[in-house]
Amino acid sequence: MMKQAFSKSILVQQMHHGYVLLIIASIVLLVAFGGHTVTDFFKYQRESVLNGQLWRMFTAPLVHLTWSHALMNLAGLFIIWGLFAQTLSNRAWLILTFCCTLVISAGLLLLQPEVYWYVGLSGLLHSYFSAGAIADRHMHRFTSILMLILLAGKLSWEQTLGPLPGSAETAGGKVITEAHLYGAISGLIVGWLLSLKSPR
């Protein structure tokens, strides 16, 4: 009975501290029901952004190519929620989301002119993971370092050998590995700065 109550208490705390991530998951699901019309309106599209449709720089992570693409990224988001929901405050998660989404899109716009369009939460997932790992260093130093090493290994693979096997098939299209790189780097910096201000 006590174990059940303790588990419930942990879950409530997790939901309280990480509800921003759950809201993002809900938005991704709602947008997925909108189909191609919504995807076309919200996706990052280089030419459209350069013509003034700046909202696309912030909405691209919310739309996905297929349901399998969306569900794969949502699974990743829930894993991150389980690992790091309490590591940063909800305000910090909001700041992280805004800053890293902007950096990812700006990186593609300025450094990857060959990328004409982009959708998906995966770049932002890399931001969340690196931010959570670096912010968690106060409480779990060894685990934090191990997670960052694994992330660095994944990014190195992607930048030298291409996407992980099977990821393009699951997503239903080409994987933009540069978005993962920009996401991870921006998450590392923003997460570190946020954890300096209000470490948990």
CA distances from 36 to 19, 40, 43, 48, 75 (A): 28, 6, 10, 17, 22
pLDDT of residue 10: 54
pLDDT of residue 19: 87
Structural domain span for residue 30: 2-197
pLDDT of residue 6: 47
| Residue 63's CATH number | 1.20.1540.10
CB under 8 Å to 125, separation ≥6 — which residues? 73, 76, 77, 80, 183
How many independent structural domains does the chain possess?
A: 1
Cβ burial, residue 6 (10 Å; 0-12/13-18/19+): exposed
pLDDT of residue 170: 77
CA distances from 4 to 39, 53, 79, 84 (A): 42, 50, 21, 22
119-45-159 Cα angle (round to 5): 55
pLDDT in tens, 124-173: 999 999 999 999 987 788 899 999 999 999 999 999 999 988 888 877 78
pTM comes to 0.90
Residue whose token pair is 């992330």: 151
pLDDT of residue 168: 80
CA atoms of 156 and 154, how far apart (whole Å) = 5
- How confident is the chain (200 residues) per 10-residue block, as mean pLDDT? 52 69 95 91 97 97 94 96 92 96 98 95 97 88 92 96 85 89 97 77
